[in-house]
Structure 1
Amino acid sequence: MTPSPTLRAIGHGITHPSHPPTPVFADSPKRWQRLLPYVVVLALALVLLPVTITVLTGSYGVPGALAGALAVAQSAPLLMLAHRPLQAWWIVLPADVAGALVLAARPGTDDAWPWPAPTIVGYLFLVLAISLREKRQTLIGVLLVTGAVCLGLALGFPDHNGGTNLLMFILSAVVLVIGGAVRERGEAQRRLAEVQTLSEAERAQRTLLEERARIARELHDVVAHHMSVITVQADSAPYRLTGLSAEAAEEFGSIASSARESLSEMRRLLVVLRNDGTEGERAPQPGIARAQQLVEATVRAGVPAELSLPADLGVLPPAVDLSAYRIVQEALANVVRHAPGAQTRVSVVSDGAYLMVVVVNGPSEAPSSPLEATGTGHGLVGMRERVRLTGGTLDTGPLPDGGFRVAARLPLDYSASEDVK
């Protein structure tokens, strides 16, 4: 008769350890933590060995040599509890049964037969180690074998009282249940931590992609403006310039046609980027010249802020102009959310080659949540992407006084900068 899958799983569980022979706490960073399991099992074996010999010789009258052999067989395998508890169980259980058979032949052992107190203690430590490492079917198999052994001894020696049989089975069951529950709870917590880590990574990636799509939608207006200028100039060239040859006029017409076709393709691209069903903003994209409005709105939100913005910045590249505005906007929004009431200063300067945008805030006057660099907020993620787009650099981080600093360096000739990976 073929055994059921459940019985096969239980049999496989008690004969094949589910856990590699890796010592407990092997991954611990401290040396004493890695050595602790060995110290515990060594102390356990050293205590049980003489105690077992004493109990067997003194309480049961077992000869010294036989008592020593039984004590070694029952106690020495406990040294394997730190890394191979299931294999130790296969040695200790037969040794315990052998000890019970020896005691059955001794007179006056009915009250504490078949398991002396040291045997019960050692076996409970053994099943505890098994329950903390092996799967549930293994624990069920260990408990069934323990119960079968206790039942077999009780039926094989009906003249003996067998008072410790039931105690051994009940205590073993309790220890296995408690240890298995602790192990399964620990595994569930580890799996939950892994899932949370993956979720955080996926959320960060989704945030990054959303920011890139938003930046692309905004830059569409900048690129479309340049393409429109190319189209108008190419269409009007035959009327503005005299003496154009037919070939030159045809070339301008081809340029205008290509520009119009590119505009049409860009509109289709914008439809793909706006996949959330929204139409987007119709107003022109803002520039750093509107930073004063951001500062005023921040002041109205209860954050004392001031702006240093020279009037002679000159004509900025549209992408740099838009990126600088968005960086100031996101930085001030972070101050309002995470450092309410903090003194804030916005500084925008240009040295002709780079545009420097610096937003510094002092410590918050009220308790607030920490700034999220890669959490649900898009602030710092968006800043990094905008700076990466223009080939600039971004420096963000806390200050010694408890404040926070955002410093962006954007090249004014970003078209000549290195491609960003």
Structure 2
Amino acid sequence: MRVMPAASAIQWTAATGRRLARGWAGSPRALDVLAAGGCFALMMLDLPGLASADNSLNGATATLVLAAGAATMLVRRQAPWVGYLTALLFIGWLHELTLIQFALYSLGRYRGRRAGALATAGYVGYAYLLFNLPGWPAHQGDTLSSFLSLVVPIGVLAAAVGIAAYRHDLVRELDVRQAESAVLQAVQQERTSVARDVHDFVGRELTLLTVRSEVLAMRSRGTAHEKDFDELSETARRAHLVLNEIIVQRGERAATPGVDGLPALAEESGRAGSPVRLSVDEATHGLSPLRQAAVYRVVQECLTNAAKHASGATVDVSISADGPRLRIAVGNALPARSPLRAPVSSGSGTASMSERVSSLGGTLTATRTDDRYEVVATLPRG
């Protein structure tokens, strides 16, 4: 029976796969082609022996048969059982164990533990029956120990590696889903925060409008404008009621601070070990409360990121309001190598910043170089 040792075959395939996968960016189709090519190349190493007395293949026919068997690896993700059944045929016909290694790995990798274990058990049982056939082949079937030392390790190792890769894929997929969920949750929380800020700021103005219109309605009693002021008062009251119904307040919560809260934020960052050089244009104090809240949130998140990834580095914060747009720039140097472990981060803070800025018609970009990280956000002033 002709077979490359299981460990050597898997190591050779894995090493070759890593090199080529880098160039092909890990494309699933490219990896399937690589698996088929690797399987075919390993089986072709035994091509001279396939014309021996145990089968009737010549060189050209054997090449076509081996190519057809290796081609089943092209559908190993969608139909791994096809390669498995073909590999069993190869065992009984050609005494070839290379394809079964790829087939069992594919079943464990793309169908999980149960399919991998079932396929391995079927393979071992089938091969055991063949080993007990008279003269099949005599030099491998003389003793049970030869069977246990060759066939069983091949199947168990190949399936186990595939199952381990399957579990790794599940863990990686779970991590991706959790990161996506964290980002979506952060965006939703930011939208809720923006909505509450709208309620706080716009609701206050509607309250003043309602009170003022009611006063004017009382003063216009008996005049020609009485009905108009009554309608104005009722409209303001309904608008306030609709605002309260759309944006439900869940507990007591203060509105997001504005530009006036930046000095305290910078002082807090300095106490935490990240000093701040703060430059704020005086014109920003005249911005609307919602835009001031956006400025505060962007700076707050940037200082949090600086504390995580560049603790001790000075953070430059610049808020300017020249022309029709407001510009927020926050940058800090990056350490060449941090002695601390990298903090856990899902990237949801950047998503929430971007959501806040885009909700006001602005843009946000984050740029990282070898030695510096900078966030720039622009907002329309009006």
Assess same fold via TM > 0.5. Answer: yes
> Which runs of 5 or more residues in structure 1 are unaligned?
1-23, 54-65, 96-121, 414-421
Q: Which among 257, 262, 274 is matched to residue 234 of structure 2?
A: 257
Find the aligned partners of 1:292 and 1:196 in 2 and give their Cα distance: 38
Cα separation, partners in 2 of 1:387 and 1:163, compared to 1, 3 Å: closer
Find the aligned partners of 2:32 and 2:303 in 1 and give their Cα distance: 44
- Corresponding letter in the other structure for 1:90: L
Partner of 2:42: 40
Report the alpha carbon displacement of residue 152 of structure 1 after superposing the two structures with TM.
4.8
Q: Which among 78, 100, 105 is matched to residue 132 of structure 1?
A: 105
Report the alpha carbon displacement of residue 306 of structure 1 after superposing the two structures with TM.
1.7
Find the aligned partners of 1:288 and 1:33 in 2 and give their Cα distance: 59
Aligned to 1:340, what secondary structure does the other structure show?
Answer: coil
The answer to whether structure 1 residue 387 and structure 2 residue 364 are counterparts is: no
> Which runs of 5 or more residues in structure 2 are unaligned?
1-16, 22-27, 73-82, 108-114
Report the alpha carbon displacement of residue 68 of structure 1 after superposing the two structures with TM.
7.5
Cα separation, partners in 2 of 1:355 and 1:33, compared to 1, 3 Å: same
Conserved 8 A contact 2:259-2:285: no
Partner of 1:58: none
Report the alpha carbon displacement of residue 392 of structure 1 after superposing the two structures with TM.
1.2
Aligned to 2:189, what secondary structure does the other structure show?
Answer: helix
Report the alpha carbon displacement of residue 384 of structure 1 after superposing the two structures with TM.
0.8
Find the aligned partners of 1:250 and 1:133 in 2 and give their Cα distance: 80
TM-score (norm 2): 0.73
Conserved 8 A contact 1:238-1:244: no
Find the aligned partners of 2:101 and 2:312 in 1 and give their Cα distance: 56
Find the aligned partners of 1:89 and 1:30 in 2 and give their Cα distance: 20
Aligned to 2:287, what secondary structure does the other structure show?
Answer: coil
TM-score (norm 1): 0.67
Tell me the alpha carbon deviations over residues 106-163 of structure 1, each in whole angstroms, 9 at most, x when there is no partner. Answer: xxxxxxxxxxxxxxxx544344344223444333333223323334539x9xxx9996
Cα RMSD, aligned residues only: 3.7
Cα separation, partners in 2 of 1:403 and 1:370, compared to 1, 3 Å: farther
Find the aligned partners of 1:39 and 1:218 in 2 and give their Cα distance: 66
Conserved 8 A contact 1:28-1:34: no
The answer to whether structure 1 residue 396 and structure 2 residue 366 are counterparts is: yes
Partner of 1:190: 169
Q: Which among 310, 330, 335 is matched to residue 359 of structure 1?
A: 330
Aligned to 1:132, what secondary structure does the other structure show?
Answer: helix
Aligned to 2:311, what secondary structure does the other structure show?
Answer: coil
The number of residues matched between the two structures is 334
Conserved 8 A contact 1:305-1:346: yes
- Corresponding letter in the other structure for 1:149: L
Cα separation, partners in 2 of 1:285 and 1:132, compared to 1, 3 Å: closer
Q: Percent identity?
A: 24
